[in-house]
Chain A
């Protein structure tokens, strides 16, 4: 009986899709755990380096580093961290929306923005809108290393040193919990010194080896790198969490669709059988 062949085909195809989304959900779940551990593992370093910077702002070095000096803002640089792959809900688009809003408000103040992008999605988006991209890095995989992003950061730091940009930001998704990720814009340069704590105040200074300038230079570059890296790892955890949630709802929707279609199919089949019987009965009665 050739009843509802189209419906059967459609059900089969939705079932296949559901299989894929289920598999992706499971993969994302296990990857999410891994990326979360990684995210936590990078915290001690950034905490430590932030602490040293904090100490440093209390010491009185004879040399003031350009990274700590505020300048009038004419141009800004933004490092945007995005995912390489899609199918992770509104993760990237939320970030882009926030970035664009920020660009517009800068535009009003006649502040130009230049960007560095990490991740495939960001590259195609910002090329699409014709933004000024000066550096990019893609295909970092699920466990990126610091070396992979050094180049991108260095381009921006060099521009900052040369005075081409007056402020540097990093934009990424903050991991709140598995269900919630929040786009975040963090200022990297100039480094903001926080309030003095009394116990550290007073006149003391480090012994610098070989000299203050070189050590500070190294340390501050490392500080910026660690912040960006922390953001990258966090963004990665966000990506997996968002993908897991998106794929879960996709699987659920597929399930709903299948049961709806199954109902329609059964009704059609019953109607066909009823019709056939009534035809037979009608035929027999006529004889």
Chain B
């Protein structure tokens, strides 16, 4: 009987795999690592590649990850997989974009903002009308 280890592979948006395995092979940043039961605790980053889960001698399941984090505890292996391609410069671009959008709305006094304001005024007006209506009915 081969010792088995519990494997959880999760991505931010869903659970990918959970179960027992004899061996897990993952693309760690400094070369592939193979993890069997009672491995020492380890924390490492993953690069894009294939995580292979050997369930038994005849069955090996492949999972593609585009990066992520691998945690090893003596009896549990956790793979936090990224769905998206992540890179420093892409993150940076996203941050700049988010900032730009905020500034744009701030400077854009004409378009959408006015629409939202008009909507607010409309809601107020409707509420006033309704109160008037009720007042008339009660009289």
Contact = CB atoms under 8 A, between A and B. Distances in A.
Interface of A: 38, 41-42, 44-45, 48-49, 51-52, 55-56, 59, 86, 116-117, 123-124, 127-128, 133-138, 145-147, 150-152, 154-155, 158, 204-210, 214-215, 218-219, 222, 225-226, 229
A215 B43 contact: yes
A207 B42 contact: yes
Given A44-B15, A52-B78, A155-B99, A222 B69 contact: yes
A45 B42 CA distance: 18
Overall SS of chain B's interface: mixed
16 contacts: A52-B78, A55-B73, A124-B116, A135-B95, A135-B99, A135-B102, A136-B98, A146-B84, A150-B91, A151-B94, A155-B98, A158-B95, A207-B42, A207-B43, A222-B80, A226-B12
B102 A133 contact: yes
A124 B113 contact: yes
Contacts, number: 137
B83 A146 contact: yes
Contacts of A219: 43, 69
Nearest to B71: A52
A219 to B, nearest CB: 5
A145 B42 contact: no
Contacts of B99: 134-135, 151, 155
A208 B43 contact: yes
Which of under 10, 10 to 19, 20 to 34, or 35 or more describes the interface residues of B? 35 or more
Nearest to A216: B43
Contacts of B11: 45
B30 A209 contact: yes
A205 B78 contact: no
Contact of B45 (A133, A145, A218, A226): A218
B44 to A, nearest CB: 4
B10 interface: yes
Given A48-B80, A52-B78, A226-B12, 16 more contacts: A41-B13, A42-B14, A44-B18, A45-B80, A48-B78, A55-B73, A127-B105, A128-B117, A135-B101, A135-B102, A150-B95, A207-B42, A209-B42, A215-B43, A215-B45, A218-B45
